């Protein structure tokens, strides 16, 4: 399929947070500043086509969660000057970034909601400045599966209650919250528990799911929840039929809740660096160890179970956390990623 005559929606974004996540702490690589990440994104080009925007992590050194209106105007100008827009933003809800566990004590849960309030204020202001035409505010439970396992059912209810408080804050700001499905977050570490949490939260239209192809692959394998694995215990990657069946079950359960989508590659192993807990390893799209047919598997999220286009996402984002800095400094890295994104849009996108 020709990319040059392909669809114009969904818009294609790059994530800026790989310059921050897993970086900057003792033993980790240094941060890559936001201006550099914006430059790398804006410079990428495939047959004259470019990224449309970026998704941001609302935490210093990229975007201070307490940024002033003047700071946000400078941010908006900096992004637009490069021909980009801002889409989804990540609320820093974790204890090391000023938040607190969603299943913690009263003070911890209040800190979680306070960070969501600040993130929604920034998201709303960027909309008002004309730099953010779409997108969600991303959250997770800000706690680990190990602690969650001490009292699973009660902890799940606590997280849902915190999410409902955060939903009220988001609704007041005209925002939606997307809970990122990832095996390192307690109560969200399996597909079954993720669905349960969304049902317990019971704020459809305000709280939904963020599907990342690298992270949701680990749901199939039951990495942190063996009881919820979807492929057989003796599964071999050569068994395409078993993988297809498992992936269909996964996406049929989570797709109705999905309001934000990340294109990614994964080699079915886990990785963590800095203070970031181990989770699904993001790979470059052409990594020989990558287990995902990106174009095909993205279609499972962008189309319904009958193969019909959903037209559900105004933008999709590439997420490539924890790549080495030298890899991220190479222009061909982002050209290859952009090409993968264009291929997804050509196969599963549409024209306005």
| 34-85 pLDDT tens trace | 999 999 999 999 999 999 999 999 999 999 999 999 999 999 999 999 999 9
Distance CA 55, CA 51 (A): 11
| 280-326 pLDDT tens trace | 678 999 999 999 999 999 999 999 999 999 999 999 999 987 789 99
| The pLDDT value given to residue 278 | 63
| The pLDDT value given to residue 321 | 77
| The pLDDT value given to residue 275 | 45
Beta bridge partners of 179: 139, 209
Q: Once rounded to an integer, what is the mean pLDDT over residues 234-260? A: 97
Q: Once rounded to an integer, what is the mean pLDDT over residues 194-202? A: 98
pLDDT confidence tier of residue 352, bands split at 50, 70 and 90: confident
Pull the structure tokens for residue 331: 């222009």
| Contact (Cβ atoms closer than 8 angstroms) between residue 58 and residue 90 | yes
Pull the structure tokens for residue 224: 């942190």
Domains and CATH numbers, the chain: 11-348 (3.20.20.150)
pLDDT exceeds cutoff 80 at 142: yes
Question: pLDDT averaged over the chain?
Answer: 95
| The pLDDT value given to residue 292 | 96
CA dist 67 → 60, 70, 81, 213, 296 (Å): 9, 8, 20, 31, 40
pLDDT exceeds cutoff 90 at 103: yes
pLDDT confidence tier of residue 1, bands split at 50, 70 and 90: low
Q: What angle do CA 12, 296, 217 make, to 5 degrees?
A: 90
Query: What percent of the chain stands above pLDDT 90?
Result: 90
Helix (H) / strand (E) element for 214: namely helix 213-221
| Contact (Cβ atoms closer than 8 angstroms) between residue 324 and residue 305 | no
Pull the structure tokens for residue 191: 């597909």
| 87-101 pLDDT tens trace | 999 999 999 999 999
| The pLDDT value given to residue 25 | 86
Helix (H) / strand (E) element for 194: namely helix 191-201
| DSSP output for 80-135 | HHTT-EEEEEE---SGGGT---TTS-HHHHHHHHHHHHHHHHHHHHHHHTTS-SS-
| Residue 318 three-state SS | strand
| The pLDDT value given to residue 274 | 46
| The pLDDT value given to residue 7 | 93
* Nearest by Cα to 186 from 260, 129, 249, 101: 101
């Amino acid at each position: 399929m020709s990319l040059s005559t392909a669809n114009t929606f969904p818009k294609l974004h790059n994530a800026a947070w790989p310059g921050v996540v897993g970086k900057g702490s003792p033993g980790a690589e240094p941060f890559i500043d936001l201006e550099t990440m914006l430059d790398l994104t804006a410079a990428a080009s495939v047959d004259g086509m470019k990224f449309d925007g970026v998704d941001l992590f609302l935490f210093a050194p990229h975007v201070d969660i307490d940024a002033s209106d003047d700071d946000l105007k400078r941010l908006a100008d900096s992004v637009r000057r490069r021909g980009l827009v801002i889409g989804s933003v990540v609320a820093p809800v974790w204890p090391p970034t000023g938040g607190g566990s969603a299943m913690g004590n009263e003070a911890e849960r209040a800190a979680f909601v306070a960070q969501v309030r600040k993130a929604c204020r920034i998201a709303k202001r960027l909309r008002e400045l004309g730099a953010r035409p779409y997108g969600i505010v991303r959250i997770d439970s800000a706690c680990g599966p190990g602690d969650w396992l001490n009292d699973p059912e009660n902890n799940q209810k606590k997280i849902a209650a915190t999410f409902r408080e955060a939903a009220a804050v988001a609704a007041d700001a005209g925002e939606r919250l997307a809970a990122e499905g990832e095996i390192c977050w307690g109560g969200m570490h399996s597909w079954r528990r993720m669905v349960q949490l969304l049902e317990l939260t019971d704020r459809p239209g305000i709280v939904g799911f963020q599907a990342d192809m690298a992270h949701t692959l680990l749901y199939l394998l039951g990495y942190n929840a063996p009881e919820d694995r979807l492929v057989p215990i003796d599964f071999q990657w050569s068994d395409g039929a078993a993988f297809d069946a498992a992936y269909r079950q996964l996406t049929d359960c989570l797709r109705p809740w999905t309001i934000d989508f990340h294109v990614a590659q994964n080699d079915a192993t886990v990785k963590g660096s800095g203070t970031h807990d181990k989770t699904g390893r993001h790979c470059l799209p052409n990594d020989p160890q990558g287990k995902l047919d990106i174009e095909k598997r993205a279609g499972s999220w962008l189309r319904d179970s009958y193969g019909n286009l959903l037209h559900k996402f105004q933008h999709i984002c590439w997420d490539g956390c924890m790549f080495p800095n030298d890899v991220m400094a190479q222009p061909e890295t982002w050209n290859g990623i952009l090409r993968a994104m264009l291929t997804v849009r050509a196969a599963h996108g549409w024209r306005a």
